[in-house]
Structure 1
């Protein structure tokens, strides 16, 4: 970007933009995290009885639409781990050396056969007398004068193969650099190993090795493609590889280990190299004792791995185990940021890394958006903002169900012919409220300007009307049954969603109304919407409707000028009542005393002008008989909705009662 003489920025024209491939970091074209869907899932689990922390963990384990959860990623890790063990075995180096040895012996005997000399017969006898073990035979032939060029080349391949595998097992990514090795290259490797061991020994003594490390990397950096920046990074990389090579050896049979150890003296035909590797392993074990030097893994497949490939397989298994622990999030202080995204992409591909990153963003954004907060005791809880969003969703679902059943709109009648609330809403067919002229004109101007229209005209979509609320106030008591049967019969979540919907309706559309939420099991209690949402089901006998109605009457008396509305959601007849000393008395079947005390509260509410509407869940004949009595005594109603229709029934009855003229 440049600037004109006046200092104003000049942006390049569209034909000067350059676009290139995206290599790393968050995808700039990825859709934003869907917090509403995530909150809906989290809220559902919380209302079903999970703690917010457990619900968040479950959401991350389960994932969201289009994003794999931690459980799916973990399952894929274990499948990858099983695949490595199921397909491979660790005798690749031994097998290949045996094949090269057989090829060398066959070629040498083929060359000796036509030679009639005694020397040829002697050489044949030497070859026939070789030990049966591969390592012993290779060592026996170390000074043999090969007569066949093909045999000599095959034997030299053995030495090169052993050298390449030995180095690749300790230095990741050196396989290509070790091909076509000359004697000078071998000497260069041996010198690097000697310098490396001197550097590690000095570091182990506690010497300042910074300058020594820099000099070492300048001379031998070509052997370390991972490009460590400090001696500690160098040690970390080497120790992980060396420990993996040791676990590979631990996974072999005792015979295989002995055979391979004996063969390593022939690496590049220089026994000093194997000695340097042994010293390197000892130094690294002393510097990083916390690495897994004693583990092993059973390899039971048919694909033979060489030493370098075997060490890589062991590193992959260790990486898979570490990733599985990170994904489990089961250790103290675990965070999704702990997941090694590069390692996850190496093992499962780029898409797995994208999914893990999006899960981390989801957790971070839920906190940043204020949907989760810490309570005074340090526990995680849904914030008021989250509860409002859950209420919006619950209310929207309820109103949609009401419209589909009755053809009603959610707000057309809510504020007709009442006091302005200060808010506006888009005009809908049938709206009777006055236009908000200033907002309507503003919408028209903005729309016309954005479309480049010279003239300003008003369209239906521009019109907003003044939202009003009815002048009458209501005191509403919603009493919800929290006995164990509500949990047992899958009525717990619908009950909470109903309370959320009613709370949202009253707090946004009828703000002058006073809502009291009352729960009743063995005893009754007044709760706020947050407490009700997070309420866990408890195994407790008792349906104390008597106590709930007592609390409802107390709420109505605190608001004498308001229209009294009492709504009861229950799935069982009253089986408990409150004694004068405050203790709850439980009996099943219910005693006449419990029924009398409960009906006495129904009569007391009737004197306050309130009728009790009971939403009876289930088909209990004893409950049906009792609620019929309640309806007759108090002039109320009995509604028997199904679970899916509970919210619509409660909200609809509240609106119907509120619009009616009765007190």
Structure 2
């Protein structure tokens, strides 16, 4: 508490309002990449959540750690710890007892030695036969009592959480209280099974008397049954995982729990009632434990509970069931099994999924399908253009191309502002004018006046009409050129929409047919098997686009990895022929000549080393007075953007 009465602490009423927003840039890039490769937005999002991000482990990594943790439990432990401890205490006690009897010379001592020699070889039989033995050694007497206490603690601890620790220093009174609790619990469960009207009152009375045994504080009988049945089923699975001989030994030893066979009887009755009340619990499965670290019965039940919890987490992380959501993941269980970092990663993934939906990364298309929103496309375009600029800088030292402004490049000079001017202000000169004017008037307060404003002069910038024709035939997919082609279109679209806003860009795809598409359609375009590379149809559409902008500088950019094998007939039918027919070549070249007549700058980006394609695109360039570039797939974006900038500069 500060002196002025204010107290500062963590914000607890909902999400922290000052928390930084979820960073979606990396996520959108990953989702967009998968969508451009042909995945649906839903499957791309699922794949992102499975892979995770550089800062957050994905569902696959969390699942791997779950299975690793599960295998570690089974590989490290074995389940005969209680039997081993009982055998150790018994052998130690019998050795001390024989040593004490050997020191006595009486016939009674010889008779007791004969009784000890005649004990059954089995642990359970020996412990049972020693129930009425009058121990002469203190070690033997103490160890036998410890065996009875150990059995009681293990049996109760296997069915009641943290009971073993609570009874670590058990007294006869503690054993009596545990027996009374079991009897009352069985009576309560019997009343619940019968549907007695006073079950609620009996439950309240039961907790008042025995609440110390139930730290989870159940609020209803059903909650109590849920907790007990899960634990009892785990104990049963631990028994199922032992050998038949080990199970038989424990069943016989249970009669010696706290030296009172009624404890084992009450526990057996409790297990029967819980099994009847919750038959859906897993009472029959088992596990294979092959380690060297022995577990007692209570620890074995906890290990089986851990295995069950890990199985449930694996199912939740798989998200393979109908209606699965990341909110289904039990974060408390995840942190308990894998640590706090795993819980942080799961929360981040859930928040990432929510933010992808909330921030409008996807939108519903007219046909009802999901597609990337304009906001997401801008983000992908920024990334694609940034990669292109990086390549251009490395290759030719070009400057960043993200500066905006439709008026043109700043020349460095300025002039007084006139009504209607849209150029940017020359800020330093404007402020200097205001200071000088104020000082000359003898005033100390500087105020801007319209007469002070100067604008930066810019060079004239012409408009361009750009047709980007991209090959979408199957070979582009088969040769891993599909994604670079889409990223190239994204980069060019981003450059034109931010820096050269007055330019008119039209994207044209061509396979068997050509068509004009929006950027969102191209990004979501799925590859289909069809024969034909109809450059004729693509150039025809490109010419129409250029004619719609008669005052703009015409630019045609064509990306292809195959020679033209189809052309468009007057009736709209596309005819395919391979090798290319003379008609196809003639129709294609006629469109090239028409573009050349209109003064269009034609650049062809040849992908691959097909000699026939190389010869044909060289012919196109000669006919149109254009250029041929042969970049690899990774350099396609830089080649197209660089050539576009070159054409704009004339």
Give the TM interval when normalised to the shorter protein. Answer: 0.7 to 0.9
Deviations 1:328-370 (A, max 9, x none): 1111111111111111111111111111111111111221211
Alignment of 1:95-244 (within 5 A): 95-207=84-196, 209-244=199-234
For residues 562 and 44 of structure 2, what CA distance do their matches in structure 1 show? 29
Go from structure 1 to structure 2 and tell me whether the alpha carbon gap of 1:287 and 1:560 turns closer, same or farther (over 3 Å shift). farther
Task: Tell me what 1:424 maps to.
Answer: none
SS in 1 for 2:542: helix
Q: Is the 8 A contact 2:41 2:372 kept in 1?
A: yes
Q: Is the 8 A contact 1:469 1:510 kept in 2?
A: no
SS in 1 for 2:163: coil
Alignment of 1:634-653 (within 5 A): 634-653=624-643
For the pair 1:407 / 2:398, whether they are aligned, the reply is yes
Deviating above 6 A after TM superposition, structure 1's stretches of 4 or more consecutive aligned residues are 13-16, 22-30, 427-433, 437-442, 454-458, 463-471
Q: Is the 8 A contact 1:475 1:513 kept in 2?
A: yes
Q: TM-score, normalised by structure 1?
A: 0.86
Alignment of 1:369-408 (within 5 A): 369-375=359-365, 379-404=369-394, 405-408=396-399
For residues 445 and 474 of structure 2, what CA distance do their matches in structure 1 show? 65
Alignment of 1:77-92 (within 5 A): 77-92=66-81
Q: Is the 8 A contact 2:471 2:561 kept in 1?
A: yes
Deviates further, 261-270 or 196-205: 196-205
Alignment of 1:431-442 (within 5 A): 434-436=423-425
Q: Is the 8 A contact 2:601 2:647 kept in 1?
A: no
Q: Is the 8 A contact 2:407 2:461 kept in 1?
A: no
For residues 411 and 238 of structure 2, what CA distance do their matches in structure 1 show? 73
For residues 316 and 130 of structure 1, what CA distance do their matches in structure 2 show? 39
Determine which of 271, 274, 282 is the counterpart of 2:261: 271
Deviations 1:518-567 (A, max 9, x none): 21223323221112112233344332222222332333344444443221
Task: Tell me what 2:483 maps to.
Answer: 493
For residues 577 and 506 of structure 2, what CA distance do their matches in structure 1 show? 28
Q: Is the 8 A contact 2:426 2:456 kept in 1?
A: no
Deviates further, 229-238 or 297-306: 229-238
- Offset of 1:229 from its aligned partner? 2.8
For residues 457 and 642 of structure 1, what CA distance do their matches in structure 2 show? 58
SS in 2 for 1:293: coil
Deviates further, 144-153 or 345-354: 144-153
- Offset of 1:96 from its aligned partner? 0.8
Q: Is the 8 A contact 2:404 2:499 kept in 1?
A: no
For residues 200 and 311 of structure 2, what CA distance do their matches in structure 1 show? 33
- Offset of 1:475 from its aligned partner? 3.0
Q: Is the 8 A contact 2:430 2:454 kept in 1?
A: no
Q: Is the 8 A contact 1:543 1:572 kept in 2?
A: yes
Go from structure 1 to structure 2 and tell me whether the alpha carbon gap of 1:322 and 1:469 turns closer, same or farther (over 3 Å shift). farther
Task: Tell me what 1:422 maps to.
Answer: none
Go from structure 1 to structure 2 and tell me whether the alpha carbon gap of 1:562 and 1:206 turns closer, same or farther (over 3 Å shift). farther
Determine which of 48, 51, 65 is the counterpart of 1:62: 51
Q: Is the 8 A contact 2:411 2:456 kept in 1?
A: no
SS in 2 for 1:475: strand
Determine which of 500, 520, 536 is the counterpart of 1:530: 520
Deviates further, 611-620 or 162-171: 611-620
Go from structure 1 to structure 2 and tell me whether the alpha carbon gap of 1:293 and 1:402 turns closer, same or farther (over 3 Å shift). same
For residues 530 and 588 of structure 1, what CA distance do their matches in structure 2 show? 32
SS in 2 for 1:480: strand
Q: Is the 8 A contact 1:415 1:468 kept in 2?
A: no
- Offset of 1:74 from its aligned partner? 1.4
Aligned residues: CA RMSD:
3.3
Go from structure 1 to structure 2 and tell me whether the alpha carbon gap of 1:141 and 1:508 turns closer, same or farther (over 3 Å shift). same
- Offset of 1:313 from its aligned partner? 0.6
Q: Is the 8 A contact 1:367 1:373 kept in 2?
A: no
For the pair 1:626 / 2:625, whether they are aligned, the reply is no
For residues 297 and 430 of structure 1, what CA distance do their matches in structure 2 show? 82
Determine which of 546, 569, 575 is the counterpart of 1:585: 575
For the pair 1:282 / 2:293, whether they are aligned, the reply is no
Go from structure 1 to structure 2 and tell me whether the alpha carbon gap of 1:148 and 1:413 turns closer, same or farther (over 3 Å shift). closer
SS in 1 for 2:556: strand
For the pair 1:51 / 2:31, whether they are aligned, the reply is no
For residues 118 and 484 of structure 2, what CA distance do their matches in structure 1 show? 86
Alignment of 1:421-436 (within 5 A): 434-436=423-425
SS in 1 for 2:132: coil
For residues 52 and 304 of structure 2, what CA distance do their matches in structure 1 show? 30
For residues 605 and 3 of structure 2, what CA distance do their matches in structure 1 show? 67
For residues 190 and 549 of structure 2, what CA distance do their matches in structure 1 show? 84
Task: Tell me what 2:345 maps to.
Answer: 355
Deviates further, 125-134 or 393-402: 393-402
Deviates further, 375-384 or 542-551: 375-384
Q: Is the 8 A contact 1:199 1:213 kept in 2?
A: yes
Q: Is the 8 A contact 1:475 1:514 kept in 2?
A: yes
Go from structure 1 to structure 2 and tell me whether the alpha carbon gap of 1:362 and 1:118 turns closer, same or farther (over 3 Å shift). same
Deviations 1:371-420 (A, max 9, x none): 123445654432221111111222233234334424344266964459xx
- Offset of 1:585 from its aligned partner? 3.2
Task: Tell me what 1:565 maps to.
Answer: 555
